[in-house]
Amino acid sequence: MYKDTVIDKKLVHQPKFIGVFFGVWFVTFFVFDLGGSIFGQFLAPVIGDPATSGLYGRFVVAFVLGFFLTLNIFAIGFLPTQRQSLVVWIELAICFVGGFHIFNLSLEFIQSKIWFLISRGLFTTIYVSVISIIFAFIVAMIGAIAKLSGNGFAMGIANFYTSLLRALPLLLLLFLVYLGLPQTGYVIDAVPAGILALTLNYGAYMTEVFRGGIESIPPGQWEAARSLGFTFGPTMRRVILPQAIPIIIPPTGNMFISMLKDSSLVSVIGVWELMFMARTLGQKTFQHMEMLITVAMVYWVLTIVLEIFQRRLEKHYSTVKETKE
């Protein structure tokens, strides 16, 4: 029934399986015993204060955690591969979120601030990221076409742009745009400055992605278009780009996820996005950890949503490509 499981059900009746089980349990027991004072916090209601429970407490912690972790590992091994991945992901997420209790977070404080944080900060974060990725897409398309145009003037500008902008840290570029431009007499607000910096920075990286996607089209497509009398412009617009876009779009999803996180840097110039709101709301009562962890969870949820969308997009274009072939 489950041909893609890691553990064959027949192995459970063999001495080798029992030996492996207890071997893993022993190693796990030893690891947990070394950190008994730390992991004991999870079992404090059972064994009492781990700091005063002595050898007995360390032994109980190592025994219980080692046994159940080993049992869990082998139980998951009977599931199909996809379900194994899902179960492990969920378990690790629960452990990760559950570990936050060691910070003694104030849930009441989080509940009182989270909706204001999301309504103001999340909207700005998404707005800045979406506008920036759209402009970066346009810049990258122009840059990639310029690099492949054969025109030395256009190629020189595109190569200079990608070389310079990929060399500048995004934070430095933000300061150059927001603090440097006013010295030339041009004052720019914080949000447009953040969008401009993100656009220029990611446009340079996406230019290379687009160039690679366009160059992946077989040379025969160019030759066929030229034989029909198409110049560079119509060839690019009617023949090359329709085939290159399905290759380019999925990697752009990675860029958008990265840009979503890097948009937190615009908080240093006063943009009211998630990180700025987290720092502002937390500093009044010195409850920074509550806000920082809340923002981390918001970014995580956003990234998960984008990853799901990206997988579906990649699946869609791969299906379209297979259909055409």
How crowded is the C-beta side of 61, counted as CA atoms within 13 Å?
A: 27
User: To which residue do tokens 């290159």 refer?
Assistant: 244
DSSP element (H, E) containing 285: none
Residue 1 lies in a domain: no
Q: Are residues 80 and 184 in the same domain?
A: no
Claim to verify: residue 226 and residue 280 sit in the same structural domain = yes
What separation in angstroms does the CA of 65 have from each of 34, 46, 268?
12, 13, 43
User: 191 and 293, same structural domain?
Assistant: yes
Asked if residue 189 is part of any domain, the answer here is yes
Under DSSP, the state recorded for 270 is T
Same domain for 257 and 149, yes or no, is: yes
What is the CATH classification number for the domain harbouring 206? Answer: 1.10.3720.10
Q: Measured between alpha carbons, how far is 307 from 205 in angstroms, rounded to an integer?
A: 20
> Would residue 187 be called left, alpha or beta, if left means φ above 0 and alpha means ψ between -120 and 50 degrees?
beta
Domain boundary pick from 68, 103, 138: 103
Longest alpha-carbon distance in the chain: 86
How many Å apart are CA 131 and CA 135, to the nearest integer? 6
Does the residue 60 lie in any domain?
A: yes
Domain count along the chain: 2
Q: What are the tens digits of pLDDT across the range 88-136? A: 888 888 878 777 777 778 888 888 888 888 888 899 999 999 999 999 9
Q: What is the pLDDT tens value at each position of the chain, 325 positions in all?
A: 444 554 454 444 445 555 555 555 555 555 544 444 444 444 444 444 544 545 455 566 666 666 677 777 777 777 888 888 888 888 888 878 777 777 778 888 888 888 888 888 899 999 999 999 999 999 999 999 899 888 899 999 999 999 999 999 999 999 999 999 999 888 899 999 999 999 999 999 999 999 988 888 888 888 888 888 888 778 888 888 888 888 888 888 889 999 999 999 999 998 888 899 888 888 878 888 889 999 999 999 999 999 888 888 878 776 655 556 5
Is 3 a domain residue? no
Residue 19 sits in the same domain as residue 58: yes
- Do residues 157 and 144 touch, judged by C-beta distance below 8 A? no
Instruction: Tell me, yes or no, whether 34 and 119 share the same domain.
Output: no
The residue segments making up the domain with residue 91 are 9-103
Of the three residues 103, 131, 166, the one that is the final residue of a domain is 103
- Please report, for residues 19, 78, 175, 283, the alpha-carbon distance to residue 260 in angstroms, rounded to integers and kept in the order given: 48, 38, 19, 24
Q: Are both 183 and 243 inside the same structural domain? A: yes
Q: What is the chain's percent helix, strand, coil content, to nearest 5?
A: 85, 0, 15
Same domain, 98 and 116: no
Spatial CA neighbour of 75 closest among 26, 30, 24? 24
**250 and 159 within one domain:** yes
223 and 240 both lie in a single domain: yes
Residues 166 and 312 in one domain: yes
Domain assignment present for 43: yes
| Domain-located, residue 85 | yes
Are residues 262 and 214 part of one domain?
yes
Per residue in 37-81, pLDDT tens? Answer: 444 444 444 444 544 545 455 566 666 666 677 777 777 777 888
Q: Which helix or strand (DSSP H or E) is residue 7 part of?
A: none
Q: Is residue 86 part of a domain?
A: yes
What 8-state DSSP symbol labels residue 9? G
Decide: residue 98, CB within 10 A, 0-12 exposed, 13-18 middle, 19+ buried. exposed
Of 81, 103, 125, the residue that ends a domain is 103
